[in-house]
Structure 1
Amino acid sequence: MGKFLKSFIYAWEGIKDGFRQGRNMKSHGLSAVIVLIAGCFTGLSQIEWMIIFIVIAGVMALELMNTAVEYVVDLVTTEFHPLAKKAKDIAAGSVFVFAIASAIIGCIIFFPKWFG
C-alpha cells in the first residue's frame, strides 16, 4: 500500500514541476480557470461540463507529456541532433493539435449560449 500511495505523491510532484518549469502549462492553467469561470456564468449542462473537464485534462496531460519528452531528450543529448528536435517538435505538436481542437469545442459549447 505504501508504494501505491507514494505513486500519488510522485504524480503530484510531476504536476507541480510542470507548472513551476513550464510557461505553457501556466498558460493552459490560466485558460482553464477562465473557461471554468465562464462555464459558471453560462449555465452549462452536465454533459457540457464533462466535455469541458475532459478537454482541460487532455490539454494539461499532453502538456505534461510534452515536458517529459523534453526532459528525456535533454538528458540524452546536450548537442543539437535532428532526431532530438523532431521528438520535441512532435510532442509540442500533439499539444497544439489538442489545444486547437479544445478551442473549437469551446466555441461549439459557448457561442450558442452567448450569441444564440
Structure 2
Amino acid sequence: MRSGGSALNPRRWWRSAGFAWAGIRHVYRSQANFRIEVWAGVLALGAAWGLRAPIAPVALACALVLSLELINSALEAVVDLSSPELHPLAKIAKDAAAGAVLLAAIGALVVGAAVLGPPLWRWWRLGAG
C-alpha cells in the first residue's frame, strides 16, 4: 500500500508511529529474549540514574540491542513466511541476525561495565567502609 501525503503530515506520522508500536508490542508479547532485554535496559538505565553516571551511552547501547532484536524478529518472520520448510539459507539468515543481537548485547555489557563500573565500585567501597 502506498502512503499518501507529506512525510511532515502529523496525521501520517501518528499513523506510522501506531504501526511501529504495534510491532514493538507484538515482539514484547511473543519474544522472551526481547522482554529480558527490555527489563535489563530498564535496570541499567535505573542504575545509571541512581549512580549519577552518564545515561546517554547506556541508553544508546540499550536502543541498539532492542532495535536489533526487533529486526531479528522481523527477519525471522519473513524467512518463516518465505521458506516454511527447513532450508540451509534460511538457517544462515536467522543465525546471522541472532548473531547481530548477540554482538550488540556483548557491546552493551562492555558499555555498562565502562560507564557503571567505576561509580558502582565507589558506591560499594563507601558502603563497605
TM over 0.5: yes
Unpaired runs of at least 5, structure 1 = none
The AA in structure 2 aligned to 1:55 is A
Find out whether 1:101 has 2:107 as its counterpart: yes
1:24 partner amino acid = N
> How far apart are 1:58 and its partner, in Å?
0.7
Per-residue deviation, 1:78:
1.3
Q: How many residues align?
A: 113
TM-score normalized with structure 1 length = 0.92
Gapped regions of structure 2 (runs ≥ 5): 1-8, 123-129
1:10-51 deviation line (CA, Å, top 9, x unaligned): 00101111101111100101101111221122111xxx2111
1:40 is aligned with what amino acid?
A: W
Counterpart amino acid of residue 51 in structure 2: T
User: Partner residue of 1:65?
Assistant: 71
CA RMSD across the alignment: 1.1
Following superposition, which runs of at least 4 residues in structure 1 exceed 6 angstroms of deviation? none
Q: Percent identity?
A: 35
* One-letter code aligned to 2:33: N
Q: Which has the higher helix share?
A: 1
Determine the C-alpha separation between the residues in 2 that align with 1:3 and 1:111.
43
Structure 2 Cα separation of the partners of residues 7 and 114 of structure 1: 40
Relative to the length of structure 2, the TM-score reads 0.83
Q: Does 1:75 align with 2:81?
A: yes
